[in-house]
Structure 1
Amino acid sequence: MGMNSELELFTRYLQIEKHASSHTIENYQKDIKQLLHFMTEHGLERYSAVTYTFVRQYLTYLHKQGYAKKSIARKLSSLRTLYEFLLREKYVEENAFALAASPKTGSHLPDFLYEEELKPLFTSIDTSTPLGQRNLALLEILYATGIRVTECVTLSVRDLDPALATLYVQGKGRKERYVPVGGFAVEAVLNYMNESRPRLLDKAKNETEALFLNYRGGPLTDRGVRLILKKLVDDAALSSRMSPHVIRHTFATHLLNEGADLRAVQELLGHSHLSSTQIYTHVTKEHLKNVYTSAHPRA
């Protein structure tokens, strides 16, 4: 069996056993194909031919190519997982990546938007068009719930309960959770569903229950959401860095700034571990420090 065949088996493992999203699988495949290219250049034709020395050589190559420590750490994690699978299936006799230490990435505080930066995004949207109504509903949902972009694009028209103001979300590893939705978001989504979504759906070749649709009436993709947010920033004449994850960071930071419990924010974000949520406490501490410095007469 060739290396590409084993990669296909690993991809099915990610889909079926790990319930990985298409975005996650795409990143795994990119990381692995980059390794395969490097292996081919060095005359290695089997996964089992990779040694710890070769792994060190590959990491040095990535460093020289200018990859950030965080990117190298992610690639290393992908390859460790691949080799754990290959070891389990007896395609290799050892995990050559298991002993390789990940580069220390340091603590990078997440980007987020202040409330005054966020308001122009909402007010600049022209809701007289179907796409404008969709964009407002999309932005409201992302900010009201803090859901991941992959969770957002898999939402169904049945997932919002307007009466209870809750949203059913299927997260990483198909973990399910219900999150509360604010009144602004509920209103925006209902307006979109009642008025604009049917008009977009008329353009579709196939029926779909996806909540958010593109201009052709098909389900919106991760990339589509990112492009929409970029356009909203441009239309609002903002210089802020924008992505679905920035809105997720903003959601968490605003909640904690207003005194929300860390455990509650963990549940809302769908984090398995509290440590994933604790990074936002560093952001809020920095916020408090700035407030103190600007407000205290003897700061």
Structure 2
Amino acid sequence: MKYRINDDFALSRPPEGPVASYIVSFAEWLVGQGYGLVSTRNQVVMAAGFSGWLRQNKIDLGGISGEHPRRYLQGRGQACRPQRGDNAALRHLLDFLRSVGAIPEDVEEYQPSPVEIHLQAYESYLRDARALDRQTIVNYRPVIRDFLHFRFSDGAVSLAELRAVDVTNFVQKRTSRLNIRRAKIMTTALRSFLSFARYHGDITSDLAAAVPIVANWNLSSIPRAISRDDVTRLLASIDRRTPIGCRDYAMILMLARLGLRSSEVSTLELDDIDWVAGQIRVRGNSGQRNELPLPADVGEAIADYLRKGRPRNACRRVFLRDKAPIRGFDGASGLACVIRRCLERAGIDAPTKGAHQFRHGLATE
């Protein structure tokens, strides 16, 4: 049931929490302050989400502090892409609540720490200049926060003071407790941030070159490409008479025939398929869309899933989860679970349990 804010827009459901009764008044206040429709709607949605978070954490109006917006935004950033106006929206909400006497005047406004200020600038760069997807930003964020705290603690952050020894010390101390995959994510994120700092003019030397390379000798002799025979066995083992089987077969066939990354399969949308031209558009790591030919067998598998297996849902993703909430896969881990389950059911001892082995297999052929 929709909750109407004014004649121009409504929320998808009634707001909950201690701020709920002030949401309509907040919208009117924003309009009176001169904000346009889009900005007002975005700020109202943010206020409703913050109110729900307060309710979940059992915080009433009298208990709101300047720390709560920061904690809410940190948690929210794990689920959806941060926007440039998020901080301002919550600051405006607190200003409004003070103006109507809902919270005390002495509630301290949230002031981002020096680390958070640099982190927000870096995230904006990844999102706007590099067009990286949300999951990549989510993976990089904690690494850079940890690095800045490691070097500057909670004091002022002066990137110009960074030296190569700061970078190597951080990597040496952190990699000892990480597995190979997490260590590589850490070093990749660190190189990305240091390149950004140089691009932004905060540092002049190429500190990204000082980030050590994480060795992976323990896997160097193991072939990582799944064989053609194993791919054939795997696809034949999937029961295509079930909705889940139709979906799993189509996804794995796309990996095997087109050499796509797991993210390119899981984020494929209905509008990305051009059935007339026999093409699909996939989103690469940089956010760019590339057009690829759609082989007949892959197209038939996708069409079979759309006709027989895909739940009725407003989500535009082609492949949907089979468990509630019904929506697209959250990331590469969802598709990896599907592959692992199918490999185990088929009794195939594959080089790895993830999606990249299909890409290696196609390249090997």
Q: Does TM-score exceed 0.5, indicating one fold? A: yes
1:31 touches 1:78 (CA, 8 Å); kept in 2? yes
Q: Does 1:212 align with 2:319?
A: yes
Please give the per-residue CA displacement for 1:31-89, whole angstroms capped at 9, x wherever unaligned: 2133245346x676525354333223223313544655x86565334223323333444
Q: Does 1:142 align with 2:255?
A: yes
CA distance, structure 2, for counterparts of residue 147 and residue 99 of structure 1: 30
Bigger Cα displacement from structure 2, 12-21 vs 92-101: 92-101
CA distance, structure 2, for counterparts of residue 176 and residue 158 of structure 1: 12
Q: Note closer, same or farther for the CA distance 1:77–1:138 as it changes in structure 2 (3 Å cut).
A: closer
Residue 225 of structure 1 deviates from its aligned partner by: 0.8
Residue 154 of structure 1 deviates from its aligned partner by: 1.8
> Number of paired residues?
245
Q: Does 1:79 align with 2:186?
A: no
Q: Note closer, same or farther for the CA distance 1:30–1:177 as it changes in structure 2 (3 Å cut).
A: same
Q: Partner of 2:171 in structure 1?
A: 59
Q: Partner of 2:46 in structure 1?
A: none
Q: Partner of 1:195 in structure 2?
A: 308
Q: Partner of 1:230 in structure 2?
A: 340
1:144 touches 1:181 (CA, 8 Å); kept in 2? no
CA distance, structure 1, for counterparts of residue 184 and residue 250 of structure 2: 36
Letter paired with 2:171 = L
CA distance, structure 1, for counterparts of residue 158 and residue 362 of structure 2: 43
Q: Give SS of 2:234's match.
A: helix
List alignment gaps of at least 5 residues for structure 1: 255-299
Bigger Cα displacement from structure 2, 238-247 vs 75-84: 75-84
Q: Does 1:245 align with 2:356?
A: yes
Q: Partner of 2:144 in structure 1?
A: 32
Q: Give SS of 1:223's match.
A: helix
Letter paired with 2:345 = D
Q: Partner of 2:106 in structure 1?
A: none
Note the aligned Cα RMSD (angstroms).
2.8
1:31 touches 1:75 (CA, 8 Å); kept in 2? yes
Question: Greater RCO between the two (CA within 8 Å, min separation 6)?
Answer: 1
Q: Give SS of 2:282's match.
A: strand
CA distance, structure 1, for counterparts of residue 227 and residue 169 of structure 2: 44
Q: Give SS of 2:286's match.
A: helix
List alignment gaps of at least 5 residues for structure 2: 1-112
1:44 touches 1:50 (CA, 8 Å); kept in 2? no
1:141 touches 1:185 (CA, 8 Å); kept in 2? yes
Residue 139 of structure 1 deviates from its aligned partner by: 1.0
Q: TM-score, normalised by structure 2?
A: 0.59
Q: What is the percentage of aligned positions where both structures have the same residue? A: 21
2:315 touches 2:327 (CA, 8 Å); kept in 1? yes
CA distance, structure 2, for counterparts of residue 8 and residue 110 of structure 1: 40
1:19 touches 1:174 (CA, 8 Å); kept in 2? yes
Match of 2:266 among 153, 161, 164: 153
Q: Note closer, same or farther for the CA distance 1:235–1:60 as it changes in structure 2 (3 Å cut).
A: same
Larger radius of gyration: 2
